[in-house]
Structure 1
């Protein structure tokens, strides 16, 4: 629809009147909404609008800072030119019209610098900005701007997404400008009746208004529902000029709260707000730099892994630019899983770790792979095929079981379970004398035995020198046929026990140890983890 009229008169109970130039088209045909606009315009004092324009405040910020109804601030079909035309051509009614007479309505004349950048919002609510490549961009309405954002989202090819959250980050300078201009208006016009009728909470922030402007058109254009979501659209505005960053400290803000917990008290306490606003008039403002990003919260896929090689580390291990080991569990699993999610990257998490020369057998070790910004979530069938593919690799270094996508609580559950878990081991041990029946009894009779371990010498360069109490829940010996000095030690321990040091004693830093219990030198030759007891995964 088209509203024709260069003049709008609201005079007492007279009917609203429009004259002959097109102002706004689109979905503003709703009479209630138009009445809301006109009622809001009737409350705008002409001298205040002129004051704003002299400072260099954009039209939407005028509505916003004056605390007019949020529909005025946020209705997406009100473009920059719509607002300018309304403010230029409206005749302010109400008491002012009565005092001037019906034939002397006051015309507000806006400055001709419609394309200048707002001194308060830095062009954010005018939809002017510098793009990622430094190109100056200008959009006339929220729909135009939202269309570009929606197209950028579409190009990322996200699947299984039905909602989004909108995040906006603005330079601190915008917030400080908001505070200063509001404080300026409060002090300058606090005795005026129109200002006394305004609730201080009605001044909406630049960030809130921008969100209101974009949410509805983004929902329409993308087909997604705005709500608390794991899929996020983020707009990050940053100061284009370092000069703007330096000048934002012209007035020194001290945030204090009154009894109602509002920020008004801190604004009223400022002594430099007039200087700040006067300085604002002199500034040459550049639009902000806008960085667009859409991303999905991390998705976790987990299960248990088994490691059959004594030359595979858990995570990639490089010393002096030289790789240690032939591969890593992290790279084998992450490299196989990431492509199915089309993510930006991954992080590997496990319930503890084994040394590179220790095999992980039995039930396997619980692990999670955190997929960052996944474009899609594979079905259970695809995940099962993924598991089969990993387990069919030619080198057979690593296998997985129970692979599945986990909820966001998967990581927390694994961390909680790790602190309480028990682990079982099988170690090949050598002692310098023959094994006897008394040794078997000594070892097997130890139940829930407490030991004290100082930080092992082999890791002392990267761990704090602490003493740790650990529990050995049970142990048993198994003779090795054909040898009297070799045996298999099977044991179950508390998580965090250093098994190698428990066997040889680490020069007395672990007490008691297998060596001290048997009264002889003991060395561990091979070690396997046979079970990690955790309810999750």
Structure 2
């Protein structure tokens, strides 16, 4: 709802009086005053939906609502012993009561969450300023103490005991709390609350004093509430007591059972709620391009066994840290169109990749800045890794990488050793397949069998061409379907690959060096390039 900054509190107060005058709620105000309910919760229970009124303090609201309290009837007076409570107090007790009222008793319904909502604003604003997201809007979700569910339910039962009817269109406590902290945040930061904003903020409030208010429900079989503890990440945590579980339990428990085990009306509280956590998250952004790897000592991603690093450098490490810092992201995810081993070079036009920037503080960088980042990355280790065609991507553009896993083709150059000296007959046998497609059946390679399921994969070799070198060496160029195991195709993997280069030349063969020459996939999309 739009906030009318210019409207005075006096005019807001008039609105409340008009609402009370036009929509009488007989008896309700008396009930609320009798259970130490704050002014804002009174408005919630009375169904007041003119949200600007809630900016009045609890004390101001109660002062206005006092005029709507009903005069005591004869029966009421009799119940109270023919005299008012205050008339039976001595002067000291009166002064004590006045002092307590001046301090403002903590609300038994919201345990102070909406009553003192503004108290949380400054810490939230400071966190927002520290994170410094580049944005004009923010979205907010709030988590309030579970005890507010129990206490609101107890209030409804209490009203039903006291009155024959009461307002049923009560205002959700989270809705009021969210607005009460959002309005001053808007004024202090200049940002606008927008439920469609990409910047999402989760604010959680806790109240230690009432954190076990709901536990009695777990002792009532019909509630279905089962609370357990379990060990997770070396810590004991409680499960089964989430808000949705409690809400469901309350719908299953009859009022008379709730009264017998719970507290109706809610019991007083003596401590204020606290800010538990502030989590801020923005939708991921994506950049992508193609990388080239000119050396045989760089893995694609960090490669280790236990605590031992098997490759000191990685493509992702060289490329992504610079991008992460530029977008001020929390983390990154490096995704590529296939992968090559650490001792395999990636040449030609490079391998397509994209980087997902998670929770970036800066969502958009100008194309000129992205070009500068490409140049900066290419100066880190120019003789080992470089990138090309770096561009900002839309989320849907990244699907090309995944979709291309089964459709793309790759070209390779392999330096091969043969157990026999290379002859022209061997070269001719290989070159029978130049420009001629054929299929190979590859069982899961022995070298990866410990982490991949045993199966037979049928892959297409589109073309094969051999070039002789001296002695026992030849260079073989291959154009293959994506996912073909090149090393196993060359040496046959103890007969698990049929046919293989070894079977074609009728002798043992193995790869000495392997280069990827081309990954046939259009990426980044042309429309993303400057």
Q: How far, CA to CA, are the matches of 1:428 and 1:449 in structure 2?
A: 22
Post-superposition shift, 1:123?
2.4
Query: Among 39, 63, 66, which residue is 2:43 paired with?
Result: 63
- For residue 124 of structure 2, what is the aligned residue in structure 1? 149
Q: How far, CA to CA, are the matches of 1:79 and 1:30 in structure 2?
A: 11
User: 1:30–1:123: structure 2 CA closer, same or farther, 3 Å change rule?
Assistant: closer
Structure 2 counterparts to residues 88-237 of structure 1, below 5 A:
89-92=66-69, 112=101, 115-127=104-116, 142=118, 145-146=120-121, 148-159=123-134, 161-182=135-156, 184-185=157-158, 187-188=160-161, 192-193=164-165, 195=166, 198-199=167-168, 202-227=169-194, 228-237=196-205
- For residue 232 of structure 2, what is the aligned residue in structure 1? none
Post-superposition shift, 1:178?
3.3
Maintained 8 Å contact 1:92/1:107: no
Query: Among 25, 32, 36, which residue is 2:19 paired with?
Result: 36
TM-score where L is the length of structure 1 = 0.76
Q: Does 1:486 align with 2:474?
A: yes
Maintained 8 Å contact 1:123/1:288: no
Structure 2 counterparts to residues 335-484 of structure 1, below 5 A:
335-376=321-362, 377-433=364-420, 434-435=422-423, 436=425, 438-444=428-434, 447=437, 449-454=439-444, 456-461=445-450, 463-483=451-471
Maintained 8 Å contact 1:312/1:327: yes
Q: Deviations over 1:238-283 (max 9, x none)?
A: 4536xx444422124459xxxxxx9799266455322322494176
Q: Which runs of 5+ in 2 are unaligned?
A: 1-6, 78-83, 87-96, 226-246, 525-530
Maintained 8 Å contact 1:187/1:268: no
Q: Number of aligned residue pairs: give it.
A: 469
Q: How far, CA to CA, are the matches of 1:481 and 1:392 in structure 2?
A: 36
Maintained 8 Å contact 2:490/2:511: yes
- For residue 259 of structure 1, what is the aligned residue in structure 2? none
User: 1:347–1:319: structure 2 CA closer, same or farther, 3 Å change rule?
Assistant: same
Maintained 8 Å contact 2:333/2:357: yes
User: 1:170–1:415: structure 2 CA closer, same or farther, 3 Å change rule?
Assistant: farther
Q: Deviations over 1:102-142 (max 9, x none)?
A: xxxx9999973854443443322123xxxxxxxxxxxxx64
TM-score where L is the length of structure 2 = 0.77
Post-superposition shift, 1:518?
3.8
- For residue 521 of structure 1, what is the aligned residue in structure 2? 508
Q: How far, CA to CA, are the matches of 1:115 and 1:94 in structure 2?
A: 24
Q: Does 1:310 align with 2:296?
A: yes
What is the root-mean-square deviation of aligned Cα atoms in Å?
Answer: 3.7
User: 1:491–1:49: structure 2 CA closer, same or farther, 3 Å change rule?
Assistant: same
Structure 2 counterparts to residues 15-54 of structure 1, below 5 A:
26=9, 28-29=11-12, 32=15, 34-36=17-19, 38-39=21-22, 42-43=25-26, 45-53=28-36
Q: How far, CA to CA, are the matches of 2:54 and 2:42 in structure 1?
A: 16
Q: How far, CA to CA, are the matches of 2:264 and 2:12 in structure 1?
A: 40
Q: How far, CA to CA, are the matches of 2:151 and 2:456 in structure 1?
A: 55
- For residue 251 of structure 1, what is the aligned residue in structure 2? 217
Q: Which runs of 5+ in 1 are unaligned?
A: 1-23, 101-105, 128-140, 256-261
Aligned with 1:501: secondary structure?
helix
User: 1:285–1:215: structure 2 CA closer, same or farther, 3 Å change rule?
Assistant: closer
Q: How far, CA to CA, are the matches of 1:350 and 1:30 in structure 2?
A: 61
User: 1:468–1:186: structure 2 CA closer, same or farther, 3 Å change rule?
Assistant: farther
Q: How far, CA to CA, are the matches of 2:249 and 2:449 in structure 1?
A: 55
Q: How far, CA to CA, are the matches of 2:479 and 2:283 in structure 1?
A: 41
Aligned with 1:466: secondary structure?
coil
User: 1:78–1:468: structure 2 CA closer, same or farther, 3 Å change rule?
Assistant: farther
User: 1:289–1:217: structure 2 CA closer, same or farther, 3 Å change rule?
Assistant: closer
Q: How far, CA to CA, are the matches of 1:302 and 1:328 in structure 2?
A: 17
Post-superposition shift, 1:179?
3.7
Post-superposition shift, 1:207?
1.7
Maintained 8 Å contact 1:432/1:485: no
Q: How far, CA to CA, are the matches of 1:478 and 1:364 in structure 2?
A: 23
Post-superposition shift, 1:300?
1.7
Maintained 8 Å contact 1:251/1:272: no
Aligned with 1:489: secondary structure?
strand
Maintained 8 Å contact 1:312/1:325: yes
Maintained 8 Å contact 1:42/1:92: no
